[in-house]
Amino acid sequence: MPSQREIRRRISSVRNIKQITRAMQFVAASKLKRAQDATLQSRPYSEKLDEVLADVAAVLSAEEHPLLVRREGGTRLLILFTTDRGLAGSLNTNTIRFAARQITEESGDLKVVTVGRKGSTAMRRARVPIAASFEGYGDRPTFASVLPLARLVTDDYLAGTYSSVDLVHPSFVSTLVQRPVVARLLPIEPSDTAAQGIPGHQFIFEPSAGEVLSALLPRYVATRLYQAVLEVTASEQSARMVAMKSATENAQELIDDLTLTYNKVRQSNITREMIEIATGANAAR
């Protein structure tokens, strides 16, 4: 059985860990509100832009714009979004496993662009071809920070490097739920109601639908990528807050168990000393 000194040291160590996890819980909680608001406020704009692009694409043929061309075979690009830091529970693990299933199910050529240090490390360890890696968007990502990634993806797709571009990222559902999803970025999918002549055919495009699409394209790609980054940020703060809260509670339970053990050892030592004193007193008579 460990000595009283060893138990006291363990209690002190666990108490220090508890203070750290509790502080990290409060920091994550303070950042969560801002990240959650930014994510939820940006979603309607991103979804409406998707609808506009789908409506414009519905009145164009694949020959009129390269972003509508469906290439058979070719290389698929997967953009994987994770966090730069750990201590976020199973958020990164679930996202990377979800991406791994997408990769293993792909029969053709595939490359990955990673956003976040955790995803980059996992893909390198799995020997998955990485076309580019981006890190350091921080707790307050800006729209300008995703423009280099948007430019890279757009230029490579227009050059015919990739046949399709998909996004894999955790989607913020609630404080307790973050669900990994995969979404098609390019080529642009026409509206489902295009065959009925409903969406784009109701409008007159000036100067033309193709030029409108070309003008909206940079904003569309950057907005989709920015929304994915916001989803990751909100998911990270939620997962970290929940994980640190659980770690704090576990640390308190361990402190209680160690305190109980310490009291038992202390009581046993006192009893043994009293027996030794009584034995020595009887022997001295």
Which 3-state string (H, E, C) describes the chain? CCCHHHHHHHHHHHHHHHHHHHHHHHHHHHHHHHHHHHHHHHHHHHHHHHHHHHHHHHCCCCCCCHHHCCCCCCEEEEEEECCCCCCCCCHHHHHHHHHHHHHHHCCCEEEEEEECHHHHHHHHHCCCCEEEEECCCCCCCCHHHHHHHHHHHHHHHHCCCCCEEEEEEEEECCCCCEEEEEEEEECCCCCCCHHHCCCHHHCCCCCCHHHHHHHHHHHHHHHHHHHHHHHHHHHHHHHHHHHHHHHHHHHHHHHHHHHHHHHHHHHHHHHHHHHHHHHHHHHHC
Q: How many residues does the chain have?
A: 285
Q: Would you give the distance in Å from CA 62 to the centre of its chain?
A: 34
On the 0-12 / 13-18 / 19+ scale of CB atoms within 10 A, 56 is buried
Domain ranges for the chain: 22-242
Residue 171: partners with Cβ closer than 8 Å, 6 or more residues away: 178, 179, 180, 181, 231, 235
Which pLDDT score is estimated for 66? 67
Look at residue 193 in the predicted model and tell me its pLDDT.
53
Dihedral (Cα; 154, 148, 127, 72), 10-degree rounding: 0
The CATH number corresponding to 22-242 among 3.90.1150.10, 3.20.20.80, 3.30.365.10, 3.40.1380.10 equals 3.40.1380.10
pLDDT of the residue at 179: 92
**CA-wise closest residue to 163 among 64, 66, 58, 53:** 66
Give this prediction's pTM: 0.83
The CA distance from 102 to 195, in Å, is: 30
| Per-residue pLDDT tens digits of the chain, which is 285 residues long | 678 888 889 999 999 999 999 999 999 999 999 999 999 999 998 888 888 887 777 776 655 666 666 677 788 899 999 999 888 888 999 999 999 998 888 778 889 999 999 999 999 999 988 999 998 788 888 899 999 999 999 888 888 888 889 999 999 998 889 999 999 888 877 766 544 444 445 667 777 777 777 778 878 899 999 999 999 999 999 999 999 999 999 999 999 999 998 888 888 888 877 777 777 767 766
| pLDDT for residue 195 | 46
Neighbours of 145 (CB within 10 A): 16
pLDDT recorded at residue 191 = 65
